[in-house]
Amino acid sequence: MGPTPSPASRKATTAVGAPKSPPSPVSLPAVLLLLRRRRHPARPPPPRPPAATAHMWERGRLPRKPRPSPILVPPPPASPPPPRRLLAFLLPRSLLSLAARAMPSRRPSPLLLLLLALALAFLFLLLSPSAPSASHLSSSLASAAAAVSTPASSPPAPVKIYMYDLPAKFTYGVVRSYMAARARAGAAGAASAIPDDELRYPGHQHSAEWWLFKDLRRRGPRDRPVARVDDPADADLFYVPFFSSLSLVVNPIRPSAAAANASDAAEPAYSDESTQEELLVWLERQPYWRRHQGRDHVFICQDPNALYRVVDRISNAVLLISDFGRLRSEQASLVKDVILPYAHRINSFQGDVGVESRPSLLFFMGNRYRKEGGKVRDTLFQVLENEADVIIKHGAQSRESRRMATRGMHSSKFCLHPAGDTPSACRLFDALVSLCVPVIVSDYIELPFEDVIDYRNISIFVETSKAVQPGFLTSTLQGISSQRILEYQREIKKVKHYFEYEDPNGPVNQIWHQVSSKAPLIKLLINRDKRLVERGTNGTDCSCICSTTKELLRK
């Protein structure tokens, strides 16, 4: 081995072999470039051959100063690519495919950056609390739509009704008189000592007058078509709470011993006719009665004979009645009056629909001999009394008769409802609450609440001329399948509450609905009366026009 050259000799050799180029200035761009090259190493350029450099020195020319490299700022570190599921949710499939092509590249693609920027912007808007989400927007639109539609769909304001504070003799006094007429000897005065709030209205098929009276007396929040007002000046209608049906039967057919003894005393017995007259005298002194001749007043006279003495003088008013059997066309009509259901007298059937527990085909129990339209009963008795699976009995009103009627209706598939003294009777509603399908043989019957009840779905109508033909009724009923009977019973259950006065949403509420519907007509007739001149006795009052009969339509 030769001797190691000294530092001085190494320096001389370097100077002679390759002259040193001037040093480049150190700057920030150069540092950044160095860092970039370390991160992304590039292939070094081929070095200049030393011979060429020496040749340039020999010719007396200085070598060219190397050009400075362009300043390259390293890009910021790339964000990790978003998950493909998020991109699939945010971006269309075509854009996603473009992004997928650009992802493998090490150098960020401008297209990918643009797509990511758009996706992030959309995601920011979607999750921002200040921006409405889709569900929030839909709920806002729904709320706005509801606010717009609320005035049209909200229920109408209740009709304001004023109930007269009648003297007690027309309300509670009638109940006391009824009780006194049936009291035992020496106990006739006991009823007068009972406070008003403890009095009980007698069990009666025409008890609607009591239910309406108690309903209007009840204070507190109400969901009713009518609202009671204390100031008559605010009222649309005026209710006269006279117990007219109970007044008619205060005096029993066979007076009790106490009533017989009272007939000899100085105080006269109760008189329904006198009470009716006294009521009209009292009303005619009231300014609101005189204002429109009673046009905006409401009376209840459910018994066919109730208020019979004064009915011509109150025919302008709204009458709450059971039917038109004993009323003339100028006294009452469907246009201005309201049909009420009877209060049922037998217990409601609490079981479910079915025919297995109803072995009888047809049931009827009641008075066989009636007058006028009720003569059909005697004929039906003759036709049906020997038919198999038919129970038809003659019986007057009594507790025992009601018990027998309850058992018969609860165990029969069909219940016969023939016309009596009037076209309708309590028996129809007894059958409905018993789930016994009514068979109606009454050509002129009017029924309550026909704006909400289709009676063809809950009963069978048979013309009188066909029903009296031997074998017609039984063969017709035997041809109805058990499945069809179940359908009748299910429909009856749907509307059964309309015939149970104890139900808060039952007939009382529906009666007030019917009464309130008359208010626009009453207003029309009042305004019409103001501009009409005096008419002759032959003029027809449109408020009393009843429904057009089929006979007139055929002509």
- Give the domains, in start order, of the chain with CATH numbers: 159-339 (no CATH), 360-500 (3.40.50.2000)
Q: 0.75 cut: is pTM over it?
A: no
Average pLDDT over residues 242-266: 71
Q: What pLDDT was estimated at residue 125?
A: 62
Mean pLDDT of the chain: 78
| Residue 359 and residue 221 in contact, taking contact as beta carbons nearer than 8 Å | no
CA-nearest of 74, 60, 64 to 29 is 74
362-378 confidence digits (pLDDT tens): 999 988 887 666 688 88
25-77 confidence digits (pLDDT tens): 555 555 556 556 655 555 555 555 555 444 444 444 555 555 555 545 455 55
What is the rounded distance in angstroms from the CA atom of residue 116 to the CA atom of residue 118? 5
167 band by pLDDT with thresholds 50, 70 and 90: very high
Beta strands in 173-281 (DSSP E): 226-228, 237-240
Q: What pLDDT was estimated at residue 39?
A: 56
263-302 confidence digits (pLDDT tens): 444 455 899 999 999 999 999 999 999 999 999 999 999 9
What is the rounded distance in angstroms from the CA atom of residue 501 to the CA atom of residue 274? 30
Residue length, the chain? 555
Amino acid identity of residue 427, one-letter, is R
CA-nearest of 498, 511, 485, 491 to 429 is 498
Q: What pLDDT was estimated at residue 63?
A: 52
- Render the burial of 460-497: b for 16+ CB within 10 Å, e for the rest: bebebeebbeeeebbeebeebeeeebebbbebbeebbb
| 3-state SS, residue 16 | helix
Least confident span in 73-77, 387-391, 407-411, 412-416:
73-77
First to last CA, the chain: 149
